[in-house]
Amino acid sequence: MQPKELVIAWVQAFNRADVDALVDFYAEDAVNHQVANAPVEGLFAIREMFVREFVTAEMVCIVENIFQDGEWAILEWSDPLGVRGCGFFHVIGGKIAFQRGYWDKLSFFKAQGLPLPPGI
C-alpha cells in the first residue's frame, strides 16, 4: 500500500474510532508524536493513546489534502468544530514508522468543551 493510500485508510479507521484497525497500520516500534504532547512509542502505547483519546473526545478528521513524496504522506485536515491541523506519516514497508501531527491543543480543548489541563 502506498503512503497516500494508507493515510486514506487510516482516516477511515480514525473516523470509526476503530482502535484495532488504526494500530494495524503502525510498525511494532512506531513513534506517534503529536507535538502538543509527548511522543508515544511502540504499538502498546499507541493503542493506549487512541483508546484514551477516543474516550475523551469525539473526533472526526475531514481530509483537506493528502500529498505523497516517496515514503512520506502529508495529511492536511479539519474537523466539524473548526480545529485544523496536519500530519506527517513516514511509511516503511506498508506500515507507519513515524507520525508527527501539528494542531492547536487550546483550540481542541475549547472546541470539545473539555476542561483545560494545567499549563494551558
Q: What pLDDT is recorded for position 105?
A: 85
Domain range annotation of the chain: 3-105
- Residue 13's pLDDT band (boundaries 50, 70, 90)? very high
Q: For residues 118 and 116, what is the distance between their CA atoms, to the nearest angstrom? A: 7
Looking at the chain, how many residues does it have?
120
Cβ contact 41:31 at 8 Å: yes
Q: 3-105 has which fold?
A: Nuclear Transport Factor 2; Chain: A, (3.10.450)
Tell me which DSSP letter residue 45 carries: H
Phi-psi group of 20: left, alpha or beta (phi > 0 → left; psi -120 to 50 → alpha; rest → beta): alpha
pLDDT digits (tens, 9 = 90+) for 74-103: 999 999 999 999 999 999 999 999 999 999
Q: What pLDDT is recorded for position 114?
A: 85
The pLDDT mean for the chain works out to: 95
Q: What pLDDT is recorded for position 109?
A: 83
Nearest to 68 by CA among 40, 41, 87, 93: 87
pLDDT digits (tens, 9 = 90+) for 30-50: 999 999 899 999 999 999 999
